[in-house]
Amino acid sequence: MPLYEDRRNAGNRIHVSEECMDAFTVSSPNVAWTLIRAIREKNIQLGRCVRVALDGWYGIEWQKILTHIRDSDEEGVIANYLSMSKAFYPSHILRQYKQNT
């Protein structure tokens, strides 16, 4: 199984119809605006600020998406974020743990 480090070596090209392609949001700015609209709508629906958790492949340009959201100045959308990668132990600690168990 290949390691997908970025788009260059991703071997799972999927061909879909034009109709299906219209359902996708592509590029960091477009993804950010789609998220902003969804957050704003949920804020209005619930009458309060919502918290959103995003999860995805490490190759996603998270920093660009989050920067677009933060810089949008959209009313009711406050972008504070924490990367969960900081919550994991470093690899050398995991190796040491495995050796001691």
Instruction: Break the chain into its structural domains and give their ranges.
Output: 26-100
Other C-beta atoms closer than 10 Å to the C-beta of 32 total 22
More confident residue, 75 or 63: 63
Cα distance between residue 13 and residue 19, in whole Å:
17
- pLDDT exceeds 90 at position 84: no
The predicted-structure confidence for 29-69, as pLDDT tens digits, reads as follows 999 999 999 988 998 999 988 888 888 877 788 888 888 88
